[in-house]
Amino acid sequence: MPNGKKLVIIPTYNEVQNIDSLLTQISYLGLDVLFVDDGSSDGTIEKIAQYQLSNSGIHILKRSKKMGLGTAYIAGYNWGLIRGYEYLMQMDGDGSHQVSDLARMIEVVEANPELGLVIGSRWVSGGTTTNWDKKRELLSRSANIYTKTLLRYRISDSTSGFRIYKAELISKMQIDDIKSAGFGFQIEMTQKAIKSGAVIEEVPINFVEREFGQSKMSTHIILEALLRVTVLGVIQFSSIFDNFWPL
């Protein structure tokens, strides 16, 4: 059985400057780690391989090119499901998600076995961001308010990529049909979790802007997410309308 039944999935693309700090901190939690790498060329794979020599719980799933964040997580989930992990966790590999917050999220999961999903949230009471400019904060808050309003759920930070899923829930969610690549993927995952009847809790975190490397965020990813949310909202509204006035 995998170590502790918990797997942390971390997508990477040219994150060699952040690997040492991340793995050093995670090692204290005794978790298995799966890096899903999209063809890094800066030595990221080689750096991870060095840690593998002394830690059998570190794994690499290599992909030949950038295929999108969403597909990276789906590949990681399927990898973990096949190997029998009980909990599948996800976090960024750029230092923006704090391992100390992950430890608190794990404590919440272990104390509340009924939870299917724990989201590390910037926008609940106690959640914070560090070194974010006002434009980016406004964009994230606005996107989450738009999503929360349109899709009619209570989640305050549905775009957060810092999460712990119960593997049992993931197996019910039909994740292979998700098409979004960027943070729209997180929104679709949130909606699927809700529709699957998951008990969800948001835990406040401190999101820290990366110190090293380049952000993978782009205008295309933002527009894709907003468009996808709008489509999901229309589908949901149509379903409600049909229930009230069936043809």
What is the average pLDDT across 174-193? 86
pLDDT digit string (tens) for 87-111? Answer: 999 999 999 999 999 999 999 999 9
Whether the CB-CB separation of 123 and 206 falls below 8 Å is answered with no
Q: What is the 3-state secondary structure (H, E, C) of the chain?
A: CCHHHEEEEEEECCCHHHHHHHHHHHHCCCCEEEEEEECCCCCHHHHHHHHHCCCCCEEEEEECCCCCHHHHHHHHHHHHHHCCCCEEEECCCCCCCCHHHHHHHHHHHHHCCCCCEEEEECCCCCCEEECCCHHHHHHHHHHHHHHHHHHCCCCCCCCCCCEEEEHHHHCCCCHHHCCCCCHHHHHHHHHHHHHCCCCEEEEECEEECCCCCCCCCCHHHHHHHHHHHHHHHHHHHHHHHHHHCCC
Alpha-carbon distance 67 to 20, whole Å?
24
Pick the range with the lowest mean pLDDT from 29-33, 57-61, 230-234. Answer: 230-234
What is the average pLDDT across 153-180? 93
Q: How confident is the model at residue 233 (pLDDT cuts 50, 70, 90)?
A: low
Could you give the domains of the chain? 3-244 (3.90.550.10)
Query: Residue 161 pLDDT more than 50?
Result: yes
For 130, 143, 166, 218, 219, the CA distances from 136, given in Å and listed in that order, are 12, 11, 31, 12, 12
Pick the range with the lowest mean pLDDT from 97-106, 189-198, 227-236. Answer: 227-236
pTM of the model: 0.86
